[in-house]
Amino acid sequence: MLVIFMEDCKITNPDDYNKIVCAEIPDLDKFPDLYENVSKHMMHGPCGILNQKNPCMREGKCKNRYPCSFSPKTMQGKDSYPIYKKSEESFTVNVRNTVLDNRWVVPYNPCLLSRYNCHINIEICLGVKAVKYLYKYIYKGHDKIVVNISQNDGDIIIDEIQQFQDARWVSAQEAMWRIFEFDLNEIYPAVINLQLHLPNNQFVSYWENQDLENIIYSETASKTMLTEFFTFCLNDKYKRQYLYREFPEHFVWNKQGKYWKERKTRQVIGHINEANPSEGQRYYLRLLLNHVRSPTSFVDLLSYNGIQFSSFKEATEKRGLFQGDDWISD
């Protein structure tokens, strides 16, 4: 489970780490119950020279890097989990007929350990690499599994292509989450994709039996987010005020009526649809829309310092937004 704290509760320094995570054996006289729980659930091993047959051993070393080194104080590791305080003058516990000290303690939270009386490993995750590692697993998608269904008959030829099963593993936690129909993901603030098209090259949707001539000459069909953005910018009130991507922060697009109206609630972010450099003019148009405030038309985007250029690429270069390169297609 990955828990992300709110902005005003962020853990920012080793002193904060110690308020949440402990990696030492508690005082038996002061905290007898906690001492028993740590001894039972939070001691690693023994492994290494104390037990070469422990499951954590790989090529003669513990894969979890136990025993840890003693540390007089908690410190932030370099692009890793913190180095927790593990005093040399510590209490000891007897685990599987071996006396172990603080070097063998798995980081834990005293409150959670006392409440649930089970192994709960708690880690503070602040290093860049550690954060990227965790998010990689969160967003990589479902775990895949290999399934093989066969009979005890050696004469049957198995056709792996015909019997291929595309399956995924669902853990108990995920199954519960889906059964209760909890949200699997959400985006905040919402991202509004803004249409991007060259003059008279917008997508038009229509019913199968509609007359195409009526659609071509329909004023509504010719309206898009971009053309109506231009129309809005003709109003002197909005002159040179908004970039295209900033517009959804202040206005809402009405899909049925195809017009922008003033936004009253909800925070959003505008994003102009992507364009690859190989698309030529559409790519340069996107560059212009990201830098020119409140343009009134495609012609306005082609103009700069009183000069009207013949292509969006040329207008982009003259504005200093792009340095020409022959490998990008016109």
- Taking only the tens place, the pLDDT of each residue in 187-242 is 788 899 999 999 988 888 778 888 887 777 777 778 899 999 999 888 777 677 89
pTM: 0.51
Q: Tell me which of 150, 179, 208 is where a domain ends.
A: 179
Contacts 24+ apart (CB under 8 A), 66-72: 66/103, 66/104, 67/103, 67/104, 68/23, 68/103, 68/104, 69/103, 70/102, 70/103
Amino acid sitting at position 144: K
| Beta bridge mates, 94 | 99
Mean per-residue pLDDT over the chain, rounded: 86
Residues 194 and 300 in one domain: yes
Same domain, 84 and 174: no
Domain identity same for 69 and 111: yes
Domain assignment present for 329: no
Instruction: Indicate the pairing of strand 98-100 with strand 307-308.
Output: unpaired
Output the CA angle 125-126-129, nearest 5 degrees. 90
- Where does residue 330 rank: exposed (0-12), middle (13-18), buried (19+ CB within 10 A)? exposed
In a domain, 167, yes or no: yes
Confidence of residue 154 (pLDDT cuts 50, 70, 90): low
pLDDT at 4: 83
Residue 328: its pLDDT value, please?
A: 46
Could you tell me if residue 235 is inside a domain?
yes
Do residues 150 and 115 share a domain? no
Taking 70 as the threshold, does the pLDDT of residue 118 lie above it?
Answer: yes
For the ranges 129-143, 147-161, 228-242, 267-281, the one whose mean pLDDT is highest: 267-281
16 shares its domain with 47: yes
Q: Is residue 175 part of a domain?
A: yes
Are 235 and 309 found together in one domain?
A: yes
Do 240 and 125 lie in one domain? The reply is no
What's the angle, vertex CA 231, arms to CA 229 and CA 233, rounded to 5? 70
* Phi/psi at 128 (5° precision): -60, -45
Better-predicted residue by pLDDT, 204 or 83: 83
Q: Are residues 37 and 73 in the same domain?
A: yes
DSSP state of 140: S
Give domain status of residue 40, yes or no: yes
Range of 66's domain?
7-133
Task: Looking at the structure, tell me whether residues 156 and 104 fall in a common domain.
Answer: no
Number of domains the chain is built from:
3
Do both 57 and 173 map to the same domain? Answer: no
* Whether 126 and 145 share a structural domain: no
Q: Does the residue 221 lie in any domain?
A: yes
85 and 174 within one domain: no
